[in-house]
């Protein structure tokens, strides 16, 4: 009841008996009510005062109920509308609902119906208001947790993080390398009720299979040669918090099966252990692979994918949100100014131009590295072109969408370089895979890359 007094309701009907009766009933329920007997006056009140709800007679003189509803929707006002109607006009009232009215009441109004319908309409109003407020705060923000960017694609990401944070759902984050997947995982953790619990990150590519399983599940003393004491795995360490599994697509298949079991049963055994350990862990996984392909290749088990991807968040590559370039540059400039006790103020115009034209295959991470290097190299107030690496060094793929297109008129050396960079891009910088595709050894790949980087440095120095 006390809560009801925060709601303002307008009752508009030209029949005084109805208006009085309704507003008496509403007052008894504790709502703040205003009475009016004319449609035009009703609209003026709604337009100028924040009513939560208006009960309006369909046939009221002046502006009628439908016209008022129409104006409310046109002006994007958040006031909910309930139409009051006589027996003969129910079909019109149904029309009004299609036009956005919450519901209708037929005369004579049944007090019980009124008592059920009003709280529901107000509940919807609360929800709409909260969403709108959230929308507005997100819109005005260029920073969300540690993430910079207000491109619509990033806002969508923030909205998803907000809605999923405080649930128990596992989350799968996809996106190219360097797009900020780990930042998103941390944001989800920080916004969840687990924020005070641990955030444990495991990179699945960093370990060979046996060691990865040992990392995840731990072991008992004597589980294998060298297991001189027991060791808790990341699952145990993340108890009450979040376990972030990076590069899940690189996890060996049988480890994936074990992980799935642990997720489904919320319990597991340490290596060499007999006792089941029960944990309360939220798992967030990430991959820079194309999910469809990873599933088709069998790199990611389908059952595990469904278990992990209750909620999927896909991060846009930097080249698809270039309006965020400047805010990102400013952020990194201040980070690296501080770290290097420098006071670089900004970027020369031709420098910005080069940064804008580049397609950033390494995304935000690459941009961050470029700014760090430039801040270190710069001696004056501004970062100049000479402080940037040669940003066209990776072939500009915008010109040739056909991956196999070879430009005639280039030296064999340049063509080889181009093909190597394109293949690296295709494999998302996975050198092992790129070498396999190109039919060269990993060592040759490294040698060639070192040679190209060396050439680039020499070109820059000359
Ligand atoms: N929106 C952003 N705002 C500020 N910094 C960002 C943003 N996105 C990424 N970064 C920075 O870029 C770097 C890479 O981010 P992160 O490690 O989260 O990427 P990732 O998607 O996990 O990459 P990978 O697939 O290679 O692991 C980090 O230093 C991070 O702080
Ligand atoms: Mg990562």
CA distance 17 to 405: 82
In angstroms, the Cα distances linking 346 to 342, 367, 378, 393, 458 are 12, 15, 11, 24, 26
Q: How many CB atoms lie within 10 A of CB 44?
A: 14
Same domain, 237 and 113: no
Same domain, 364 and 244: no
Same domain, 161 and 256: yes
Same domain, 430 and 460: yes
From ligand 2's centre to the CA of 283, what distance in Å? 15
Q: How many CB atoms lie within 10 A of CB 80?
A: 24
Cβ atoms of 316 and 154 within 8 Å: the answer is yes
From ligand 1's centre to the CA of 6, what distance in Å? 44
Q: How many CB atoms lie within 10 A of CB 200?
A: 20
The domain boundary, picked from 392, 413, 437, lies at 392
Cβ atoms of 68 and 56 within 8 Å: the answer is yes
Element of type H or E holding 128: helix 111-140
Cβ atoms of 241 and 284 within 8 Å: the answer is no
CA distance 271 to 128: 51
Nearest to 362 by CA among 432, 417, 316, 429: 429
Same domain, 166 and 83: no
The residues with which 347 forms a beta bridge, in sequence order, are 383
Report the pLDDT value the prediction gives residue 62, as an integer from 0 to 100.
Answer: 92
Same domain, 199 and 288: yes
Nearest to 106 by CA among 75, 83, 123: 83
The domain boundary, picked from 100, 135, 170, lies at 135
CA distance 258 to 115: 54
Q: Which atom number of ligand 1 is nearest to the Cα of residue 180?
A: 18
CA distance 303 to 410: 48
From ligand 2's centre to the CA of 242, what distance in Å? 15
Q: Which residues contact 172 (CB under 8 A, 6 or more apart)?
A: 248, 284, 285, 286, 287, 291, 305, 308, 309, 311, 312, 313
Which of 144, 176, 180 has most ligand 1 atoms within 8 Å of its beta carbon, as the pocket-test mutant? 180
> Which residue's CA is the nearest one to ligand 1's atom 24?
177
CA distance 395 to 418: 6
CA distance 58 to 84: 6
Same domain, 302 and 171: yes
Identify which ligand lies nearest to the alpha carbon of 161: 1
Identify which ligand lies nearest to the alpha carbon of 365: 1
Nearest to 193 by CA among 169, 167, 160: 167
The domain boundary, picked from 109, 135, 161, lies at 135
pTM of the model: 0.62
Same domain, 272 and 332: no
What is the full per-residue pLDDT of the chain (462 aa) written as tens digits? 568 889 999 999 999 999 999 999 999 999 999 999 999 999 999 998 889 999 999 999 999 999 999 999 998 888 999 999 987 778 888 888 888 999 999 988 899 999 999 999 999 888 888 777 766 766 566 788 889 998 999 999 999 999 999 898 999 999 999 999 999 999 999 999 999 999 999 998 888 888 899 999 999 998 888 888 999 999 999 999 999 999 998 899 999 999 999 999 989 999 999 999 999 999 999 999 888 888 998 889 999 999 998 899 999 999 999 999 999 999 999 999 999 999 999 999 899 999 999 999 999 999 999 999 999 999 999 999 999 998 864 444 443 344 555 556 667 777 788 888 888 888 888 888 888 888 888 888 888 887 777 677 666 555
In angstroms, the Cα distances linking 102 to 119, 122, 123 are 11, 10, 11
Report the pLDDT value the prediction gives residue 408, as an integer from 0 to 100.
Answer: 60
Question: What does DSSP assign to residue 367?
Answer: H
Q: How many CB atoms lie within 10 A of CB 139?
A: 10
Which of 161, 182, 320 has most ligand 1 atoms within 8 Å of its beta carbon, as the pocket-test mutant? 182
Q: Which atom number of ligand 1 is nearest to the Cα of residue 203?
A: 27
Q: CA torsion angle for 140, 145, 147, 148 (degrees, to 10)?
A: 30
Q: Which residues line ligand 1 (CB under 6 A)?
A: 147-149, 175, 177-183, 246, 288, 331, 364-365, 368
Q: What is the CATH number of the domain that holds 356?
A: 1.10.8.60
Nearest to 275 by CA among 306, 236, 302: 236
From ligand 2's centre to the CA of 160, what distance in Å? 19
Cβ atoms of 214 and 234 within 8 Å: the answer is no
Report the pLDDT value the prediction gives residue 128, as an integer from 0 to 100.
Answer: 82
Radius of gyration of the chain (CA): 31
> Which residue's CA is the nearest one to ligand 1's atom 23?
178
Q: What is the CATH number of the domain that holds 87?
A: 3.40.50.2300
Q: Which atom number of ligand 1 is nearest to the Cα of residue 368?
A: 12
From ligand 1's centre to the CA of 92, what distance in Å? 55
Q: Which atom number of ligand 1 is nearest to the Cα of residue 154?
A: 1
Same domain, 271 and 417: no
From ligand 1's centre to the CA of 180, what distance in Å? 3
Same domain, 174 and 187: yes
DSSP 3-state assignment of 44? Answer: helix
Nearest to 359 by CA among 321, 385, 315: 321
For the chain, give the number of residues: 462
Identify which ligand lies nearest to the alpha carbon of 180: 1
From ligand 1's centre to the CA of 183, what distance in Å? 6
From ligand 1's centre to the CA of 193, what distance in Å? 24
Same domain, 446 and 433: yes
From ligand 2's centre to the CA of 205, what distance in Å? 11
Q: Which atom number of ligand 1 is nearest to the Cα of residue 173?
A: 21
DSSP 3-state assignment of 256? Answer: helix
Report the pLDDT value the prediction gives residue 459, as an integer from 0 to 100.
Answer: 63
Q: What is the CATH number of the domain that holds 449?
A: 1.10.10.60
- With both helix axes pointing from N to C terminus, report the angle between 442-461 and 431-438 in degrees, rounded to the nearest 10: 110
Which of 365, 371, 373 has most ligand 1 atoms within 8 Å of its beta carbon, as the pocket-test mutant? 365
Judged on CB neighbours under 10 Å (0-12, 13-18, 19+), 178 is buried
Q: Could you list the residue range(s) of the whole structural domain that residue 150 is in?
A: 144-314
From ligand 2's centre to the CA of 181, what distance in Å? 6
> Which residue's CA is the nearest one to ligand 1's atom 26?
177
Which of 141, 145, 183 has most ligand 1 atoms within 8 Å of its beta carbon, as the pocket-test mutant? 183
Nearest to 142 by CA among 345, 324, 401: 324
Helices then strands (H, E): number in the chain? Answer: 18, 18
Domains identified in the chain, total number: 4
Same domain, 180 and 268: yes
């Amino acid at each position: 009841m006390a809560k009801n007094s925060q709601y303002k309701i307008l009752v508009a009907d030209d029949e005084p008996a109805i208006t009085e009766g309704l507003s008496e009933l509403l007052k008894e329920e504790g709502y703040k009510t205003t009475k009016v007997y004319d449609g035009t006056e009703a609209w003026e009140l709604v337009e100028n005062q924040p009513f939560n709800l208006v009960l309006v007679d369909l046939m009221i003189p002046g502006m009628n109920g439908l016209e008022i509803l129409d104006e409310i929707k046109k002006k994007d006002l958040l006031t909910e509308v309930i139409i009051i109607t006589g027996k003969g006009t129910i079909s019109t009232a149904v029309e009004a609902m299609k036009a956005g009215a919450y519901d209708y009441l037929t005369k004579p109004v049944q007090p019980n119906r009124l008592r059920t319908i009003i709280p529901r309409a107000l509940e919807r109003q609360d929800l709409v208001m909260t969403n709108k407020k959230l929308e507005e705060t997100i819109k005005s923000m260029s920073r969300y947790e540690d993430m910079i960017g207000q491109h619509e694609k990033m806002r969508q990401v923030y909205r998803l993080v907000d809605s999923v944070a405080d649930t128990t759902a596992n989350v799968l984050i996809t996106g190219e390398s360097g797009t900020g997947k780990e930042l998103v995982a941390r944001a989800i953790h920080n916004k969840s009720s687990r924020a005070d619990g641990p955030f444990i990150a495991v990179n699945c590519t960093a370990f060979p299979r046996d060691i990865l399983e040992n990392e995840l599940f731990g072991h008992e003393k004597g589980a294998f040669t060298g297991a001189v004491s027991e060791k808790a795995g990341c699952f145990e360490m993340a108890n009450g918090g979040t376990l972030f599994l990076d590069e899940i697509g690189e996890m060996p298949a049988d480890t994936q099966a074990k992980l799935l079991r642990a997720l489904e049963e919320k319990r597991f055994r340490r290596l060499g252990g007999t006792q089941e350990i029960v944990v309360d862990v939220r798992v967030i996984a990430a991959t820079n692979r194309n999910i469809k392909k990873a599933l088709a290749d069998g790199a990611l088990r389908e059952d595990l994918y469904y278990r992990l991807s209750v909620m999927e968040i896909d991060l846009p590559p930097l080249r698809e949100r270039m309006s965020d370039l400047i805010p990102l540059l400013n952020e990194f400039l201040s980070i690296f100014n501080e770290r290097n006790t420098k006071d670089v103020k900004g970027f020369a115009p031709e420098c910005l131009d080069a940064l804008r034209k580049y397609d950033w295959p390494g995304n935000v991470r690459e941009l961050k590295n470029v700014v760090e290097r430039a801040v270190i190299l710069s001696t004056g107030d501004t970062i100049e072109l000479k402080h940037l690496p040669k940003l066209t060094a990776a072939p500009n793929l915008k010109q040739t969408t056909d991956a196999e297109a070879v430009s005639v008129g280039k030296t064999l050396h340049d063509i080889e370089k181009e093909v190597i960079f394109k293949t690296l891009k295709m494999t998302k910088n996975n050198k092992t895979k790129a070498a396999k595709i190109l039919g060269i050894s990993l060592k040759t790949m490294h040698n060639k890359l070192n040679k190209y980087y060396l050439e680039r440095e020499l070109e820059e120095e000359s």
